[in-house]
């Protein structure tokens, strides 16, 4: 089966206040457990961006414990890894955009939401459970689906589950299922957010510290 997820942010403290966990360690272990309760090694998972935090290192200790055949569509927190070629130890493909067919349904995959009103669905991440101006726009566009763990109960989901969860998130009882984010974007005692560092796609087999011929 095919599953989707996004915005896991393993090891990343700044997003902790918006999630139902008391520590980063609890968050990481919960997401790994929920993933492996859902996914078998015969399943395919498209991760629509942000497995870690920008400027850090590939969170291989977490990714190596996740079952299934995995594909990464890079997000803004995946473009500045200091050891980016290590992504290929855990993902079969690493791209910035992808198009697939899930059964008979055409799917566009990009971390950043792209306004889309044609056949199939556009699946994105990036927004978490934000309810800013984009919320009012996207709730009118049911073919655009947020795969972020924050609106999918912290586990990978099928297309049908994604449609159902997004209907809850954009529906009249949204706050009952997904509380408003009240945390701050900066964590004083942990990793600090940094400006996105958009580097070329890593190349399979490149030496650590290089992205193809691009020296870090």
Domain range summary for the chain, segments of one domain joined by +: 2-215
- Could you report the per-residue pLDDT of 84-131, keeping only the tens digit for each? 999 999 999 999 999 999 999 999 999 999 987 778 999 999 999 888
The pLDDT of residue 206 is 61
Tell the CATH superfamily of the 2-215 domain: Metallo-dependent phosphatases (3.60.21.10)
Does residue 215 surpass a pLDDT of 60?
A: no
The pLDDT of residue 20 is 92
Residue matched to tokens 């969860």? 165
Does residue 190 surpass a pLDDT of 60?
A: no
The pLDDT of residue 207 is 52
Does residue 212 surpass a pLDDT of 80?
A: no
Does residue 141 surpass a pLDDT of 70?
A: yes
Residue 35 sits at φ, ψ, to 5 deg, of -60, -50
- Burial of 87-106, coded b for 16+ CB within 10 Å and e otherwise, reads bbebbeebebebeeebeeee
Average pLDDT over residues 140-160: 96
Does residue 55 surpass a pLDDT of 80?
A: no
Question: How does strand 144-146 pair with strand 69-73?
Answer: unpaired
- Could you report the per-residue pLDDT of 18-44, keeping only the tens digit for each? 899 999 999 999 999 999 999 999 999
Average pLDDT over residues 60-70: 97
Average pLDDT over residues 138-155: 95
Residue 95 bridge partners (DSSP): 73
């Amino acid at each position: 089966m095919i599953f989707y997820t996004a915005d896991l942010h393993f090891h990343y403290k700044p997003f902790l206040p918006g999630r139902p966990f008391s520590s980063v360690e609890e968050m990481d272990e919960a997401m790994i457990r929920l993933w492996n309760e859902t996914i078998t090694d015969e399943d395919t998972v498209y991760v629509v961006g942000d497995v870690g935090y920008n400027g850090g290192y590939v969170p291989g200790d977490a990714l190596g414990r996740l079952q299934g055949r995995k594909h990464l569509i890079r997000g803004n927190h995946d473009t500045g890894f200091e050891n980016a070629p290590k992504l290929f130890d855990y993902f079969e493909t690493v791209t910035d955009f992808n198009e697939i067919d899930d059964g008979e349904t055409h799917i566009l995959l990009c971390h950043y939401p792209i306004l889309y009103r044609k056949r199939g669905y556009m699946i994105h991440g990036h927004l978490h459970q934000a309810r800013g101006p984009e919320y009012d726009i996207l709730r009118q566009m049911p073919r655009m689906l947020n795969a972020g763990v924050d609106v999918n109960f912290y586990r990978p989901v099928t297309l049908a589950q994604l449609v159902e969860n997004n209907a809850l998130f954009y529906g009249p009882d949204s706050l009952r299922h997904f509380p408003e984010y009240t945390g701050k974007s900066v964590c004083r005692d942990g990793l600090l957010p940094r400006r996105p560092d958009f580097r070329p796609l890593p190349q399979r087999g490149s030496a650590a510290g290089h992205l193809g011929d691009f020296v870090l």
